[in-house]
Structure 1
């Protein structure tokens, strides 16, 4: 919900950016009103909303939290006012596609109360869990307890072995100029590996790269981003881009040099990052930003952040449309997940067949 995100999205994509702002009148204060609610959305036709347009949050594929920012003392009133504003503004779509909404939050409780009053309706499409990290008294002991002694010794050995390749150091870029330089390194590092092959690296799409550069520049001006790197002879072998908001950190993106994959540089940097975040008194919680409960963070961080995807209809009573769209989306997601699980079950056999076919090929004639 940061202004830097809104401005970066508007610069990178053609979708209309819509920001719902809620204000509280304070006649006794120097100013007439105080901002108490922000919800960043974009207007777009999606698979979920088709054939209608929807207001979508989070706004893009590399944003991982769609919960609006609302003053704790006014959650229910602000959310109801936001939905009413959508309902009464003719040019706005009435469907709201809200992804990665924090489950168990005051916002979810307010939505339930609003639906009970008949002031709007919503359907829960899916819930997921992802790793998070909360503060502790002994960061070193936390990391040591995150795995068996044997695995801990194995990673310590890999760090020593990598150190034999040259000078090994961990750096943190925080100043705007340093962040800009580190971001260039990160984009090149990410584009050199498997993410580029899957076209999911930030630099794989010009719009996504522009969004990233605009957002990081805006956040860096207010010291709301840092880039941590594990470096060998000055060159990065693993990097994290970490965003900051209040007392929460977000491990937004990571990349590593696959040429050094045998040393597990990503996990080595995760150790440094984990202990540093836990040692920072200004950070109470870190969100992994993972879409699923998998990966190195899920294995090492025991706490979980539960999020849900919702479809909200702020318009007049149209329960049938809401039910049909949500049922279609649930069926699609169920089929996609079944296909993914089937692929992973069959993958070993597919690889064995490929190996046999390679072995059966006749040798090439030499000219």
Structure 2
């Protein structure tokens, strides 16, 4: 029986799912030892760590952390048993104003696209209650904001169950679906979208020699990433001050992130070039058999050819042409252009949870503030949509927007 759209989008990739392998390796290199099931590790390193029994992580060859676990039969006692790291959750401590209650933010940095914790699926029913109990028993705020939480991931159900034990349930601020595609399902091979992609490619090819390059060697990734940064800064994000290069601290952080991941073959930048000139750049992150289309930028001078859409389409084709990648996550919502040529979906939600047994005034205030924010944002988007539709020659479905995903 074939996969449905929902099943294809929800196909589970085995192993620990996460995007901060460089951080995890560095973090595990000096993880403290000691008997504990769940441990909060200082605010300077915003992580919640679940350990099976105890054992410090030991540096392995090539700078990687080696985490070992030896099973212990039930009823067998005596001595400590080595264990492995089975869960990690990076959280930010946030306060919007001096007088406003603080909360924890599960999107660990400004350009993150997933707030779900990194958990070994084999231990998810133990890890999630331990995470929430640790936060509740600590001096940290009991309010956690879960923006872009993957509700199809294995940790969602155990989290809901752990909250229910104390009579709590998440506040759903917004639900959405994220476009995804797998090797077996999801690439739309016919229809008006596919026809327009072919037309745009042919028109672009008429302007010069067109090529798509996705070199995963570390040096080439760093060089290609600089091309991405320059393109983004030269476009509308640069004009609005939201490009990465608009903030020097952000730029330094992201350069280090991509460089470290590139050293581990976990990042690349696909480039669309015309006569050697880069006109679009797609940053890709890799985790196991999944690729994530993290950020994209294009040259406004070529906007009429939809270069972002062309690049993503050709990059998808290239990733699936060789063994290794089984699925691609768009990192964007269903309103983005990727939804037009990827049929798979994953269920996402922006949630707010209270991990303490009692409802608090702080949680009520933060809930009211966020609901007001989401309503105002929805109104803004409606007004923007009406303004776009009122422009001459702008018809719904008339063409693929060349804009990039945020």
Match status 1:55 vs 2:97: no
Report the TM-score when normalising by structure 1.
Answer: 0.83
Q: Which residue of 2 aligns with 1:157?
A: 202
Quickly say closer, same or farther: Cα 1:114–1:150, change in 2 above 3 A: closer
Show the 5 A alignment for 1:227-306.
Answer: 227-290=269-332, 292-306=333-347
Match status 1:35 vs 2:80: no
How many angstroms apart in 1 are the aligned matches of 2:143 and 2:125?
Answer: 19
Match status 1:210 vs 2:252: yes
Q: Which runs of 5+ in 1 are unaligned?
A: 9-14, 353-367
Q: Secondary structure at the match of 1:335?
A: helix
Q: Deviations over 1:145-171 (max 9, x none)?
A: 254564254224223313xx3x32221
Match status 1:66 vs 2:120: no
Quickly say closer, same or farther: Cα 1:112–1:5, change in 2 above 3 A: same
- Number of residue-to-residue matches in the alignment: 336
Quickly say closer, same or farther: Cα 1:284–1:329, change in 2 above 3 A: same
> Of the candidates 123, 139, 142, which is equivalent to residue 94 of structure 1?
142
Q: Secondary structure at the match of 2:152?
A: coil
Q: Secondary structure at the match of 1:21?
A: strand
Q: Which runs of 5+ in 2 are unaligned?
A: 1-17, 27-42, 54-68, 73-79, 393-406
Q: Is the 8 A contact 1:17 1:41 kept in 2?
A: no
How many angstroms apart in 1 are the aligned matches of 2:296 and 2:311?
Answer: 10
How many angstroms apart in 2 are the aligned matches of 1:4 and 1:235?
Answer: 32
Q: Which residue of 2 aligns with 1:11?
A: none
Quickly say closer, same or farther: Cα 1:100–1:280, change in 2 above 3 A: farther
> Of the candidates 102, 106, 125, which is equivalent to residue 173 of structure 2?
125
Quickly say closer, same or farther: Cα 1:236–1:115, change in 2 above 3 A: same
Q: Is the 8 A contact 1:146 1:300 kept in 2?
A: no
The structural deviation recorded for 1:288 is 0.6
Q: Which residue of 1 aligns with 2:356?
A: 315
> Of the candidates 179, 183, 190, which is equivalent to residue 135 of structure 1?
183
For structure 1, which segment, 303-312 or 235-244, has the greater mean C-alpha deviation from structure 2 after superposition?
Answer: 303-312
Q: Which residue of 2 aligns with 1:355?
A: none
Q: Secondary structure at the match of 1:173?
A: coil
How many angstroms apart in 1 are the aligned matches of 2:335 and 2:387?
Answer: 20
The structural deviation recorded for 1:219 is 0.5
How many angstroms apart in 1 are the aligned matches of 2:51 and 2:191?
Answer: 45
How many angstroms apart in 2 are the aligned matches of 1:101 and 1:127?
Answer: 10
Match status 1:175 vs 2:175: no
Q: Secondary structure at the match of 1:58?
A: coil
Match status 1:339 vs 2:380: yes
Match status 1:22 vs 2:50: yes
Quickly say closer, same or farther: Cα 1:181–1:173, change in 2 above 3 A: same
Structure with the bigger RCO (C-alpha within 8 Å, sep 6+) is: 1
How many angstroms apart in 2 are the aligned matches of 1:129 and 1:50?
Answer: 35
Quickly say closer, same or farther: Cα 1:208–1:171, change in 2 above 3 A: same
Q: Is the 8 A contact 1:17 1:43 kept in 2?
A: no
How many angstroms apart in 2 are the aligned matches of 1:242 and 1:5?
Answer: 17
